[in-house]
Structure 1
Amino acid sequence: MAEQLRLYSYWRSSAAYRVRIGLNLKGLAYETVPVHLVRDGGQQHAPDYVARNPQHMVPTLQHGVRVIRQSLAILEYLDEAWPSPRLLPMTARDRARVRALALMVACDIHPLNNLRVLQYFEGTWNVPQPERDDWIKHWVIEGFTAMETLLAEDAATGAFCHGATPGLADCCLVPQVFNARRFGVDMSGFPTIVRIEQACLALPAFDQARPDNQPDANA
């Protein structure tokens, strides 16, 4: 698969952050195409981008003529196209556990705090900033409370969400912790999550994927 990988990304998008981590863990070279989600009314709404992603969202991964959307679908595509190192474990039982942890973030926590939700609160319902911040914190804390229990009480948890190597769940968890810190969530009640986050960020693949390390971070 010699075709170039091109990632349409926004530096602070946690969904794009997940994919950057996955690409880095795989050791794959890729081109970043910034899509600024706020400038010019949101570049994700521009006709040329909507032609690639009718959902008006990032990330979008282009691999040759193939276009893949949705961060978890992209990560599983990478795992199938480049099987080593693995993002998902070998056994069905372990894969189910890792997918469940990843989906807790990607389906239950993140969508409630997405930029388009917050913009709707502000632009349509005129929800003041303090109430929007409370909304974010509530759903992050509720999700992390369950996730902390599942991680802390399962022997399958190791240095990372599952065992001794980072995978799909870690790709999702670290960006969500970034969001939590950004919005002032007190992380002291989630020691296992914080421990895993710190283990991940000590690795170059995670460090290089940090929002502040992206080419469009200061745009």
Structure 2
Amino acid sequence: MILYSYYRSTSSYRVRIALELKGLEYTVRPVNLVKDGGEHRSSTYLELNPQGRVPTLIDGDVKIIQSPAIIEYLEAVYPANPLLTGSQADRALARSVASIIGCDIHPLHNVSALNKLRAAGHDEAFVEQWIQGWIADGFNAIESLIKDKAWALTDEPGLADVYLLPQVYAAQRFGLDLACFPRIARVAELAKSHAAFQRAHPASQIDSPA
């Protein structure tokens, strides 16, 4: 498998975590979203992904864009080490946490949305407040849904954690204090010592400047 990824893209990050947790071999092909106006805007990449975003997964003859679709594909085609476990209610709860992040938080601090704010004349202080506000709103809901111990919802990391850890990374990057979210902070601390999360972390990527 080939994953077209950008090191600090949270949607790319969540796919890397899923691949690592499922024990699947893959090769990262970096797509720099900043250099020379962004490699994702090149005609070569647009032929691969007409939306011009990351991630894109290539698995043999199969090409998939959008991280939720990629993760769903991996879960269906490679059922070992499942990310969704337990009852249908348990799985629905995990999808709910993932959807809060993937549908309600992440799109509102994606670079395209932030650039619209800047183009409308908002300064960086406003943009930072915007980002922190939307992440905090989502985290308040998630904090009430996850457990007091172990991973977000289960004894082993699963779909909720796949989405949560990249969002924590973004929250910290944009200066949101996690002190108000002790359960989320607990999961983030647990992930620091887990090999799959370590390998998927932005700092561990071949295109990371760190």
**TM-score exceeds 0.5:** yes
Distance of 2:150 and 2:71 partners within structure 1: 21
Distance, in Å, in 2 between the alignment partners of 1:49 and 1:121 is: 26
Structure 1: state its 5+ residue gaps: none
Task: Identify which of 170, 175, 179 aligns with 1:188.
Answer: 179
1:128 maps to amino acid:
D
What residue identity is the alignment partner of 1:118?
L
Is the aligned partner of 1:105 residue 2:101? Answer: yes
Name the CA distance, whole Å, in 1 between partners of 2:199 and 2:92: 28
Q: Which runs of 4+ in 1 moved over 3 A?
A: none
Pairwise CA distance, 1:208: 0.8
Match of 2:43 among 43, 47, 60: 47
Residue of structure 2 in register with 1:12 after alignment: 8
- Measured in 2, the distance between the counterparts of 1:201 and 1:74 equals 24
Say how many residue pairs are matched: 210
Distance in 2 (CA, whole Å) between partners of 1:90 and 1:71 is: 23
Distance 2:111 2:192 in 1: 24
1:89 and 2:85 are equivalent in the alignment: yes
What's the TM-score once normalised by structure 2's chain length? 0.96
Amino acid at match of 2:191: C
The answer for the alignment partner of 2:158 in structure 1 is 167
**% identical aligned pairs:** 43
2:117 is the counterpart of 1:126 = no
Q: CA deviation at 1:91?
A: 2.5
TM-score, length-normalised on structure 1?
0.92
Q: Partner of 2:21 in structure 1?
A: 25
Counterpart Cα distance in 2 of 1:76 and 1:91:
17
Whole-Å Cα distance in 2 between the matches of residues 182 and 14 of structure 1? 11
SS at match of 1:68: strand
CA RMSD, aligned part only? 1.3
Could you tell me how far 1:35 is from its partner in structure 2?
Answer: 0.6
- The residue identity in structure 2 corresponding to 1:150 is L
Name 1:205's counterpart in structure 2. Answer: 196
> Using the alignment, how far apart are the partners of 1:193 and 1:127 within structure 2?
30
Q: Distance in 1 between matches of 2:42 and 2:21?
A: 31
Match of residue 141 from structure 2: 146
Deviates more, 1:139-148 or 1:194-203: 194-203
State the shift of 1:201 in Å: 2.5
